Amino acid sequence: MSLHKSDKPSVCILDAFTTQPGDLNWDSLNSLGKLEVFDRTSPDQILERARKKEILIINKVVVTREILSQLPDCKLICLLSTGTNAVDLEACKERKIPVCNIPAYSTDSVAEMVFALLLAWARGVMPHAEAVQQGVWTRHNDFCFTLSPQVELKGKTLGLVGFGDIAQAVARIAGAFGLEVIAYTPHPEGKPDLGQRFVSLDEIFSCADILSLHCPLTHETEQMIHEARLSEMKKGAVLINTGRGGLLDEHAVASSLTSGHLGAALLDVLSTEPPKADNPLLNAPRAWITPHIAWATRAARSRLIEILTGNVEAFLKGKPQNVVNGL
C-alpha cells in the first residue's frame, strides 16, 4: 500500500508529549506531510483524530483491530518506541499496513540508567546528600556517617536476562566496574564476546548477586519474575528492571522485599503506567522506583525523532524500513 508520489500525506501524532515535551521539534517530519500533533489522546478521541489520516504515529495509544477497521485511509503506523504492544500487528498485516518501530535509539541511555539505579542503591547517594542538607553532618561527632551499608560492586555477579543491544551495553559498562557478567538468552549463538558467560535460566537466578532484565514482554516472559523464581535467588540479591513492568509479578516481588529475601528492587517500569495507588511496590521496603525515564534523555529522544522521520521518508519512497509485522 502506497501513496501517490505527488501527494503530501496527512500525518497525525496521537501522543507526542513524552517524546517532545518542548525541548525538541517535529520540523523534519512536518516537511514530509500535513502534520497534526496532539500531546495526549484518550481512547474516546482516537477515531475522531485519526480518521482520514494516512500515517498514524503513536507511542502508548492502543490501536486495536476494531479501531483499525474504522480507519480506511490508514496506510502506515509508526511507533514512537521499540516495543510493539500498542498495535494489533496481525490486523495491520491483513490490511497490508506496515508497522514501523524505532530500534536501538535509547541503548546507551537505558544502559546508563541501569548503573544510575545500581550506584544510587549501592552508595545511598541521595539519602546521604539530603541528610547533609538537613544539617546531620554538622551536628555529628565523627568525620563521617552512614545511613545505609556502603556496597562495593567489584567482584559481584551481574546476571543479564536477555542479551540484545541494551544488555550488551550494560555488559560493557559492567566490565569497567569489575563485575562478573553472566547472561541468559535462548539464542546465544552469534552474540559478541564481551566477557560474559552464558548460563541457563535456572543458573542465572541462583548465581546472580544483581539480576537485570533486558528481554521483551511476550506470553513466555510475562510475570517471569514470580514467587518460585524469587525464592531461587540469593538472599539479599538485587533485581533491576528497565525493560517492561509486565515481566514482574509485582505482588510476589513486594512480598519478597517485605520478607527480606530480596535485597532491593530497582525499577524504572511498572505493569500499569501511571501506576494505580494500590500497586504493592509503591510502599514496599527497598523498592527504588523511577517513572519510566531510562529512555528519556534528550539525546535518545532526538535520535528517536530522526529514525521516525527516516521511517516515514522510506515508506514514501516505497521502501519501508524497521517494519515489525512481516510486510
The span from the CA of 21 to the CA of 304, in Å, is 14
pLDDT of residue 193: 96
pLDDT of residue 75: 97
Quick check: is 48 catalytic? no
- For residue 295, give every residue at least 6 positions away whose Cβ sits within 8 Å of its Cβ, in sequence order, or none: 105, 106, 109, 110, 301
pLDDT of residue 7: 74
Quick check: is 244 catalytic? yes
User: How do residues 269-327 score in pLDDT, each as one tens digit?
Assistant: 999 999 999 999 999 999 999 999 999 999 999 999 999 999 999 999 999 999 999 88
pLDDT at 6 over 60: no
Catalytic residue among 128, 244, 301, 303: 244
Q: How far is CA 183 from CA 61, 78, 145, 277, in A?
A: 33, 32, 37, 34
pLDDT of residue 298: 98
Whether cis (ω within 30° of 0) applies to the bond prior to 9 is no
Quick check: is 251 catalytic? no
Confidence class for position 3, pLDDT limits 50, 70, 90? low
If one counts every other C-beta atom within 10 angstroms of the C-beta of residue 54, the result is 20
Residue intervals of the chain classified under CATH 3.40.50.720 are 10-105+298-316, 107-289
High-pLDDT (> 70) share of the chain, %: 98
Confidence class for position 71, pLDDT limits 50, 70, 90? very high
pLDDT of residue 327: 81
**With b meaning 16 or more CB within 10 Å and e meaning fewer, what string describes 118-146?**
beebbbbeeebeebeeeeeeeeeeeeeee
Average pLDDT over residues 11-34: 96
User: How do residues 190-219 score in pLDDT, each as one tens digit?
Assistant: 999 999 999 999 999 999 999 999 998 889
The amino acid that residue 301 corresponds to is R
User: How do residues 112-166 score in pLDDT, each as one tens digit?
Assistant: 999 999 999 999 999 999 999 999 999 999 999 999 999 999 999 999 999 999 9
Tell which CATH classification among 3.30.200.20, 3.30.460.10, 3.10.20.30, 3.40.50.720 matches the domain 10-105+298-316: 3.40.50.720
Catalytic residue among 140, 197, 273, 298: 273
What is the residue whose three cell numbers read 503513536? Answer: 58
Per-residue DSSP letters for 106-130?
A: SHHHHHHHHHHHHHHHHHTHHHHHH
pTM: 0.92
Catalytic residue among 226, 251, 286, 292: 292
Average pLDDT over residues 18-37: 96
Q: Return mean pLDDT, the chain.
A: 96
The span from the CA of 237 to the CA of 206, in Å, is 10
Phi, psi at 56, each rounded to 5°: -105, 135
Tell which CATH classification among 3.40.50.720, 3.30.420.40, 3.50.50.60, 1.10.1660.10 matches the domain 107-289: 3.40.50.720
Average pLDDT over residues 72-97: 95
pLDDT of residue 69: 96
157-161 and 180-184: which strand pairing? parallel
Q: Which three cell numbers stand for residue 263?
A: 535485597
The span from the CA of 136 to the CA of 122, in Å, is 21
High-pLDDT (> 90) share of the chain, %: 95
pLDDT of residue 245: 96
